Copies of this chain bind each other. A is one copy, B any other.
Amino acid sequence: MKDMTTARTPVPDAARRLPEAERRLSLRERKKLKTRTAIRDATYRLIKEQGYEATTVEQIAEEAEVSPSTVFRYFPTKEDIIITDEYDVLVEDLLRSRPADEPVLESVRWAIRRSMAMQVADTPDYVHEEMKLRTGLMVSVPAVRSRAMESMSVTGRLLCRAIADRTGRAPDDLEVRVYAMGLVSALLEAVLYWAERDYRDDVLNLVDRTLSTFRDLARRPPDDGPDHGPGVPPGEAPGAPEIHGPAAPQP
């Protein structure tokens, strides 16, 4: 399949993910996986050659040797071909694997570090390539960035559940949600920063700095100024209880 004589295939399509674990799938499932990655690879290839806008779904379909309908069956939008992340489940597992009494930020740091490391270290080069292409597109193509933000908000809800588990708060608590979304947005911003500066920095370091920023957020300088500006009533905000550490389950 796929000819091999064309000499334009930068990456062996099959045997990329799940090189042996896929043996145990039914023929149907295996084929589905194959077309899925075929579509994705075709997309990356074409975009690398001609850019994002210039690449139409029709071309992608042709390059992947499927029909346009099939492309849309596998990916709801063109951007999804690029963004889709089997990444969330991974982070979720990693998060759950941490001791329940560890401060949330530390668990997150660990999980992110781990999942990043798995994508960045001891991993073949074409994965790097893909990651760079992907993040580069996030920077340059608004539609892709939007999609990334959407998917990020899914990660946010995931984080909400994790936080809820540990703190005994509800997953849809305002403070929990706000905290989770703030965090994942910050992390996305760090990745964009990374891409914008041509991947010169070490992503893991950027992630660390981002999380540190979050941790140090409230270390305000000695002059703990007035709580509210003039003209604004004291406003009895029901002070947000600690999120970081383990908290007693709500009574």
User: Which residues of A approach B to under 8 Å, CB–CB?
Assistant: 98, 102-103, 105-107, 109-110, 113-114, 142, 145-147, 149-150, 153, 156, 172, 174-175, 177-179, 181-186, 188-190, 193, 204-206, 208-221, 223, 225-229, 231-232, 235, 237-240, 242-247
Contacts and interface: CB of A to CB of B under 8 A. Distances in A.
Q: Identify which of A109, A186, A239 gathers the most chain B CB atoms within 10 Å of its CB.
A: A186
B113 A232 contact: yes
A219 B242 contact: yes
B232 A220 contact: no
Contact of A229 (B102, B175, B220, B232): B102
Number of copies of this protein chain within its complex: 2
Contact of A193 (B174, B190, B240, B243): B174
Contact of A181 (B189, B217, B227): B189
A152 B103 CA distance: 29
Contacts of A205: 235, 237
A175 B244 contact: no
Contact of A106 (B110, B150, B172, B228): B228
Contact of A240 (B150, B188, B213, B225): B213
A205 B227 CA distance: 15
Contacts of A214: 178, 182, 217-218
Nearest to A235: B208
A156 B185 CA distance: 11
A217 B150 CA distance: 24
Nearest to A231: B110
A153 B107 CA distance: 27
8 contacts: A102-B225, A103-B221, A106-B227, A172-B193, A174-B193, A175-B209, A178-B190, A181-B186
